[in-house]
Chain A
C-alpha cells in the first residue's frame, strides 16, 4: 500500500512536468491548429537564456521576467521570419519546418552551452513538502505555478477580447477575418505566448531533470501525449492529462508483471490511443463536426 501511495505521489510530481509542457502545446495548438515539434527545444533555449542571465549576475526573478519577455519576442520573431512565409504552403511542409527549427535550436544550444548538465536553481527550495519526502517544495511549487497558468489561460481565452479573437482566428479563420480579426497577427501572438509558457515550463522542469540541450526530448513526447489525452482544445484537459500520464506510467511500471518496467512508455501510449479510439477528441476536448 505504501508503494502504491509512493508511486502515485511520484507520478503526480513527474506529471507536473508533463502538465507544464502540455499547456504550452495546447497554447500553440489554439493559435496555429497544429503541433509544433520544436516547442520543447524552444523551451530549452529559453531556459538556457535565463541560466546565462543568472551566470551574468542577474537575480533569479529579474532573469525570469527578462526571459519571459525575450521568449515572447523570440516566438513572434520566429513566426514572422520563418513561418509566415510558409502560411500558404501545405501543412506537411510546415511540419517539416518545425523539424528544421528543432535541429537548428538544438544544435546551436549544444555549441553555445555544451552538453554537460547544469544545475538550475529553484525559488521554492527542495525540502520535503508537508512532511512527505516524495514531493519536494519545488515540485509543489511547480504544480502551483501550473495551476496558476491554467487559470490565467482560462480567463484569457474566455473573457478577454484578444483571447476570444485568437480562438476565433484558429478555429474559423475566414469568419474571424470577416468580423475584423487580424488573424495573421493572432497567429504571431499565439507563437509568442506559447514560447513564453514554454519558457516557464522549461524553468520549472530544469531543476528536476537538469539543464542540457536534450533535456526536453523526452518531455515533449509526454507533453504531446498529455495534451492529446486531455483534449487539445482544453487547457484544463491538458493539465489533467499530464497528471494522468505521470501516474499511470508509474503504476504500469510498478504493477504490470514481466514487461511493465521495460515498456512503461509504450503501455502508457497504448492506453492513450485506446482512450482516443473511444473519445476521439480527448477527455475534455470538444468533438469536431466535419462539414462537407
Chain B
C-alpha cells in the first residue's frame, strides 16, 4: 500500500506575522511549522504504515526552505520526501497549487492521498478536493477517523453535530482534520536519519500533463489584494458581581469610554 501525504509549511503565527510591502506574507522572515491538519493526515498515514506496512511519501510545494517540513515528516517516520519548487510556481492560488500538486502526483504511485482539510495561512479547504478532481479520483473530506477495509477506505466525515460514515474504493483522496488524531513526536534517531535523507526536488519541467496557463501567479484566477494582521485584543477584565451590580458596572464602563 502506498500513501502520499501532501503537507505544507505554514507561518507559525505564535511568532508574529510579517508582510511584504505589496501586502503578501513575507514567508522567508517568519518562523514556520507543519500545517496542523496536514500533520494529523501524516499521523494517519504513519498509523497505516505501523498497521499494514504502508509506504509513506510526503509531498510539498514551496520555497527551497520547505525542505525542512519534509525532513520533519521523515523524522516522524515518513519514508520519502518530494519537494516541488520553481520560481514560475510562486504566487499560486488554490487552483494553481492543486494543478501543480496533481502534476507531481501523476508521476507517483499511490493508493491513498491524504491532505489536510485546510492550511492555517489560507483557510480555503479547496486544494485537497481540487487535486482529486484533477486526478479523477474520489474524495472524502473532513475525516475525523479512518480505517482500511480490503481495497476501500472507510471514513467518518465530520459535521457540526454528527458524522457520516463513507466508504470509497482506493485510489482516493482524504482530507484530514486536526482532530483526527494526536500526531506523534519526531524521534532523536529519526531526526539524524532525516537530515541524511535524500529529498527529491522537482521543478516545472517535472510536472506531468499541466498547462503553463494553470501555474503560478499568472495561472491563478484569484489574487490577494491585501493582507493584514489581526487587530490584537487587550487582555480584558473579569469581574464577579451579582446581575444588578453587573449592569451598573458595564453601563459605567461604557459611559466612561463614551460608547453610550
A pairs with B: no
Residues of B within 8 A of A (CB): none
Q: Give A residues with C-beta under 8 Å from B.
A: none
